[in-house]
Amino acid sequence: MSEKHPYFRRKTPQELLDEIADMKRGKLKLYVGAAPGVGKSYKMLQDAHDLKLEGIDVVIGLIECHGRKETEELIKDMEVVPLKEMKYKGSIFRELNVDAIIQRKPKVIVIDELAHTNIPGSKNKKRYMDVEEILNAGINVLSAVNIQHLESVHDIVQQITGVAVRERIPDLFVQDAHEVQLIDVTPETLRKRLAEGKIYASEKIEQSLTHFFTVTNLSSLRELALREVADDVDEKMEQISGNLVNGPIGVHEKILVCVGYGPTAEKLIRRGWRMANRLKAQLFILNVTKNSPEAFTQEIRERTEQWKILASQFNAVFLLEQEGGRKPAQVIIDIAKQYHITQILLGQSARTRWEEIRKGSIVNTIMRKTENIDIHIVSDGRS
């Protein structure tokens, strides 16, 4: 076969450098659970002890015991890197000491609570960024996170539990993990642990049992965790088995998410990411605007920047397109044709039936002027 075939082309110098960097990078093992108290920290420490017995240099960078005696017992004979003390608003806080860990350079470091937001003034804004820096230093990391902290499931978790999770991590960071292990217990077992005071302090037990830790919530979160980890395993198995020689499944699928300035924009982006991730498809995010960016208000600038951040986290292409005398539907059509889009996500139209008759339906216009494009309308939750 000719050397010019795409699978046999010579690698660029940058690609070779990236491969070398990947070889030097530490490996990340993630312990994922459906909720607090399933035993992520305990299992992580058990594995750390097993590694230590094998003669591997493993130390603790940060572990949250939450008063659990069994977890505290596993720390006693482990080396711990002292936390970094930081003063903020007159109080002392203790955060992961990234520089001390890199200087100590163990083979494996244990770092709990991956989704944690660091105190202002810290080296990195989020703990997963600390972990990224440690991995790049060639140190292997064991870490733990609950499923509700994944960026793409934010809207689903809020719908299930009624709680908007503020501390979130990018899905791409989780997907780059070398290994993901699900720590699973039944909702009934988890509620029993909570009632026995093994998860939260006594004053929090009753409220937790009747709010977040209901059987319905825990069952739904457990199903979500099982599905997410199963998808991760399927993807890794596909890569290992070599089934990607002819391109990943859905390689020709390209998903376009169209966002406006309504309240559902971020929900649309996350839904688009989940679709793209399932189909192994490329994701595009489009905002159609009347004005040039120079004429944006401060509020619109901030919204646009937020979308760009989400696009970056989801490895999506963000497109800001001016109408330029075209109707929004025509802009969407032009972009869809330019990028060979196969699926379009739109929010529920705010137009009344009379406005759609007078001005035309965006969905009908797109359907009439395109071929082989599926259109998905995402509800905004209105009754």
Confidence at residue 11, expressed as pLDDT on a 0 to 100 scale: 62
Confidence at residue 199, expressed as pLDDT on a 0 to 100 scale: 80
Residue 333 near residue 371, CB atoms below 8 Å: no
Q: For the purposes of burial, counting CB atoms within 10 Å of the CB of 184, is it exposed (0-12), middle (13-18) or buried (19 or more)?
A: middle
Residue 230 near residue 316, CB atoms below 8 Å: no
Could you identify the residue written with the tokens 């395109």? 370
- What are the backbone angles phi and psi of residue 187, rounded to the nearest 5°? -55, -35
Q: Residue 36, by phi and psi: left (phi above 0), alpha (psi -120 to 50) or beta?
A: beta
Which residues, other chains included, contact 231 with Cβ-Cβ below 8 Å and sequence gap of 6+?
277, 278
45: three-class secondary structure by DSSP: helix
Report which DSSP code applies to 173: H
Task: List per-residue pLDDT tens for the chain, 383 residues long.
Answer: 334 443 345 666 666 666 666 678 999 999 999 988 888 988 999 999 999 989 999 999 999 876 677 777 888 889 999 999 999 998 999 999 999 999 999 999 999 999 999 999 999 999 999 999 999 999 999 999 999 999 989 998 998 888 889 999 998 898 889 888 888 888 899 899 888 887 877 778 888 888 888 988 898 898 888 877 776 655 555 555 544 433 333 335 789 999 988 888 999 999 999 999 888 888 999 999 988 888 888 999 999 999 999 999 999 999 999 998 899 999 999 999 898 898 899 987 655 444 444 455 788 888 888 887 888 888 765 44
Q: Whose CA is closest to 171, among 209, 228, 217, 95?
A: 228
Confidence at residue 259, expressed as pLDDT on a 0 to 100 scale: 93
DSSP collapsed to 3 states, 98-138 = HHHHHHHCCCEEEECCCCCECCCCCCCCEHHHHHHHHHHCC
**CA distances to 35, 99, 106, 146 from 40, in Å:** 10, 26, 22, 9
Confidence at residue 253, expressed as pLDDT on a 0 to 100 scale: 79
**CA distances to 45, 71, 108, 140, 200 from 56, in Å:** 14, 21, 8, 11, 33
> Where in the chain does DSSP place strands (E)?
28-33, 58-62, 84-88, 91-95, 108-111, 140-146, 179-183, 254-258, 282-289, 317-322, 343-347, 374-378
Gap between the Cα atoms of 89 and 87, Å rounded: 7
Could you identify the residue written with the tokens 């199963």? 230
Q: What is the pTM assigned to this prediction?
A: 0.67
Confidence at residue 349, expressed as pLDDT on a 0 to 100 scale: 63
Residue 188 near residue 45, CB atoms below 8 Å: no
Gap between the Cα atoms of 27 and 138, Å rounded: 8
Tell me the pairing of strands 140-146 and 179-183: unpaired
Q: DSSP of 305-356, one letter per residue?
A: HHHHHHHHHTTPEEEEEE-TTS-HHHHHHHHHHHTT--EEEEEPP---HHHH
Gap between the Cα atoms of 318 and 315, Å rounded: 9
